[in-house]
Amino acid sequence: MINLIRKIGKNRFAFTAFLLALITLGYYFLLRGNGMSYHAAFSDAFHCYFWLAFFTFILQRIHAFYHSRSAINIVHISTIAMFSLIIALLTNWYGQWIAGADIQYLELLPKIFFLRWFVLFILMLSIVQQLWIDKHLQEQNQAFNRLLEKERQLTKAEMNNLKQQFQPHFLFNSLNSINALVKSQPEKAREMLINLSDFLRKTIQKGKEDYNSLEDEIAYLELYMSIEKVRFGERLKVSIDVTDDCKTAILPSLILQPLVENAIKFGVNGTIGTIQIDIQITCQNNLLFVSISNPYDSESMAKNGGTGYGLKSVERKLGLIYRRSDLLSIKKEESTFTVQLKIPQDEKNHSN
């Protein structure tokens, strides 16, 4: 019974018909309470309900294709007055026809005519008001959904644009390094070319995905670093420390590679000798924490530093996905530059 009432409540027309039926039932008992016969009371109530339901359906159809700016206007009032008058007249004429020898009912009909008209007018006015509200809410929801869809498409387009812009600098640098190694160290050039081919193939595959497991992302990151190690040789040292409770963590696809690329770039520009890149990954309070540290020299970075596009792109990507602006931070301590990420692990925070 409760489920049936809930289903009726979700269907506006069914709910209106059900409500009118309850009002008609009350009207029937009112007539019976005033001495009307069973036949006269039932016929009058049923006839009134039938025409009220019929004209209510017409009003619903009108509002399905027409929606005025205001809930009450001259068109609404005129239409409701006309429809309620027609119902009152039809019910009155029908009552005279079926009354037969029921003198009490015949005497009652002209007395309740204007009262019936007024009650019908109020009922239909309430129905029109609700129809207008429903239509207004529906149009608002449609406009809101269109806005959400437009924002989703713009976000997707910007995400795709960011994905396409992450790799070019690395690709150009790798090709230049391969070109430099072709004559002096052809075996290393071949190794780097094979790794680069695998890297680009996986980049295309992962670029189609919104999220990756931490395990897959680290495997991809290690492939990237194998290319960089060919470029820089023993000079590049990378350590990755991941706690066991982070094995099932999820993070946006290709989010770590540009940060490590940034760390290597500024590590090379800012220091002489070994470049130590430390990557620490922990989990706490439903958050994945990623810390990427590299050596740097503030004076050298001031002279040779870039535009910071890599960090800004990652920050923008996180903002688009999680609707938050506090997920990326940087820290500078003496000769160490650290980028810290917070990746929410609650699925409801993922907007894509």
Stretch 323-349: mean pLDDT: 84
Q: Pick the more confident residue, 307 or 73.
A: 73
Pick from 80, 95, 93, 10: nearest CA to 45: 95
Going from N- to C-terminal start, the domains of the chain cover: 2-154, 167-349
Band of pLDDT at residue 289, cut at 50, 70 and 90: very high
Residue percentage of the chain with pLDDT more than 90: 9
Q: The dihedral of CA 29, 31, 37, 42: what is its sign?
A: negative
Q: What is the DSSP string of 108-123?
A: HHHHHHHHHHHHHHHH
d(CA 176, CA 168): 12
Answer for the pair 313, 262: CB distance below 8 angstroms, yes or no: no
d(CA 18, CA 53): 10
Stretch 165-180: mean pLDDT: 70
Residue 345: partners with Cβ closer than 8 Å, 6 or more residues away: 249, 250, 283, 286, 287, 288
- The correct answer on CATH 1.10.287.130 for the domain covering 167-349 is no
Pick from 98, 81, 80: nearest CA to 44: 98
Band of pLDDT at residue 352, cut at 50, 70 and 90: very low
Residue percentage of the chain with pLDDT more than 70: 74
Pick from 203, 217, 202, 306: nearest CA to 256: 217
Distances (CA, A) of 9 to 13, 61, 124, 180: 9, 19, 19, 74
Answer for the pair 210, 152: CB distance below 8 angstroms, yes or no: no
Residue 1 pLDDT: 47
Q: What is the pLDDT of residues 134-155, one digit of tens each?
A: 777 777 888 788 777 777 766 6
For 207, the 3-state DSSP assignment is helix
Stretch 223-248: mean pLDDT: 85
Bin 323: left if φ > 0, else alpha if -120 < ψ < 50, else beta: left
The per-residue pLDDT of the chain, averaged, comes to 76
Whether 81 shows a pLDDT value over 80: the answer reads: yes
Max mean pLDDT range (21-35, 43-57, 76-90, 98-112): 76-90
Q: How many residues does the chain have?
A: 352
Residue 169 pLDDT: 63
Residue 69 pLDDT: 65
Q: Pick the more confident residue, 159 or 256.
A: 256
Whether 3 shows a pLDDT value over 80: the answer reads: no
Distances (CA, A) of 202 to 197, 221, 262, 293: 9, 11, 20, 25
Please tell me whether the overall predicted TM-score, pTM, comes out greater than 0.75 for this model.
no
Residue 113 pLDDT: 79
Q: Pick the more confident residue, 283 or 133.
A: 283
